[in-house]
Amino acid sequence: MWKLIKANLDLWLVDHGFLRSLYSNRFCLPGPLYRSNQPSVAQIHRYRRELGLKTIINLRGYNPTQGRYQLEAKACEDAGITLINTRVHSRGLPTAEQINLLKELVEGFETPALAHCKSGADRAGIFAVLYCHFRLGQPIDDAKDQLHWTYGHFRSAKTGILDHFFESYIRYRDQYKETHRNKTSPTFLEWVNSEYDRETLEKEFKPRGFANFWIDWIVRRE
């Protein structure tokens, strides 16, 4: 009993679940893939009933010592939902290897599915971009709209490094078109596997303004 109480305290207080109970930040993409913030146990069971949910992708990683993860894993088991755990960062760039692994993931999970992080803004955003690009076939120019303030994403904060990542590819591709007019421009994945310089891009990006304070100290994005 104490273990269950402790797990719920972690979910609702430490992890700000009481705020998420007011707004799930849930949006639907073709597939369907839903993107949202951390779901509660009740929401998981409701999504199974109402949406026919088959898969949940937890973008916060495997954390068996944390109460909110324990509750989510048990709820998925009870509801017959496949839980996939992978760790994505909101204030740092993925490696080329991580992008390739995420490509395999977004192309292979069973739908209807839900992808979530803590707030449903940044990590859910980059996952949605990759899903739209690799699985739905959208160009990065369109897919990157999944990183937007309407989802709670702030491009002027540290989380804006995710925008910088995709925009760096677009700039490279457009420059390549100008200098290699008779050649096919590199795809996003080709750029990731050949030209992508993670360290340089991280050094280039400079967060600014109140948004950074909001992300780091108020909502405490991971």
What are the tens digits of pLDDT across the range 50-85? 999 999 999 999 988 887 899 999 999 999 999 999
Residue 150: pLDDT over 80: yes
Give the model's confidence band at 143: pLDDT under 50 very low, under 70 low, under 90 confident, else very high. very high
- With a pLDDT cut of 70, the percent of the chain lying above it is 83
For residue 20, the one-letter residue type is R
> What pLDDT score was predicted for residue 66?
80
Neighbours of 178 (CB within 10 A): 7
Q: Answer left, alpha or beta for residue 137, where phi above 0 means left and psi between -120 and 50 means alpha.
A: left
Residue 64 identity: P
pTM for the whole structure: 0.88
* Interval 94-117: pLDDT, tens: 999 999 999 999 999 999 999 999
Domains of the chain: 1-222 (3.90.190.10)
CA distances from 93 to 59, 67, 199, 200, 212 (A): 14, 27, 9, 11, 17
pLDDT bucket at 41, cuts 50 / 70 / 90? very high
Q: Which helix (H) or strand (E) holds 114?
A: strand 113-116
207 pLDDT band, cuts 50/70/90, is confident
Mean pLDDT of 136-161: 95
